[in-house]
Amino acid sequence: MLVASPAPAAEVASLDEFLSGIATRALRFAEGGLRHREDARDAVQDAMTRMLAYRDRPAGEWTPLFWSILRSRIVDMQRRGLLRLRWLAPQPEGEDTVDWADPGGDPSHRQQDRQAWTRIVEGLRRLPRRQREAFSLRIFEDLDVATTARVMGCSEGAVKTHLSRAREALQHHLEDLR
């Protein structure tokens, strides 16, 4: 399912509108880092709750601020061992799995799309955390290099390096899909 991008933060009328527009993408980002839907939901909910303290900030600051908060929450959960290793166990089809495939088209195309997205998600999960973050923020969220660097707490050069390595690893992982 393709999700339309919300209006830029400067055009968003309220923090509630901003958060509802970013919720689905935030959940996907968190799932990539935590590999478990319930942990991802907890992280996103906590990040959104923490954003309430910043509702008086200009709307243009909300996007990098939210992603910084969410990223920090994911790292905290990983460090504190709250991450359960359930993702290693076999899971029933459709339960706690990420399905980003577009439901449109005929059944054969939908199956191919699901398989492609499964391979992409598999490739993203194999990436080191920093590469996955750089790729998700730059490619999926379309943040510029400077904002991504601010969110990740590193230099712009490091973002470019992480992104380059992530693209190379994903390209290698996905070669058989061509």
Reported as a single tens digit per residue, the pLDDT across 46-105 is: 999 999 999 999 999 999 999 999 999 988 888 776 444 444 444 455 544 444 444 555
Identify the domain boundary among 35, 55, 85: 85
CA gap 32, 129 in Å, rounded: 9
- List Cα–Cα distances, 50 to 35, 69, 141, in angstroms: 22, 8, 20
Residues 1 and 80 in one domain: yes
Residues 57 and 27 in one domain: yes
Range of the domain at 118: 106-178
Structural domains of the chain, count: 2
Residues 80 and 110 in one domain: no
140 occurs within a structural domain: yes
pLDDT of residue 177: 60
Residues 11 and 69 in one domain: yes
Identify the domain boundary among 85, 114, 142: 85
Retrieve residue 105's tokens.
């088209």
Residues 110 and 80 in one domain: no
| Tens digit of each residue's pLDDT (9 = 90 or more) over 28-59 | 999 888 878 888 999 999 999 999 999 999 99
pLDDT of residue 131: 94
Residues 80 and 8 in one domain: yes
CA gap 30, 28 in Å, rounded: 5
Identify the domain boundary among 31, 51, 85: 85
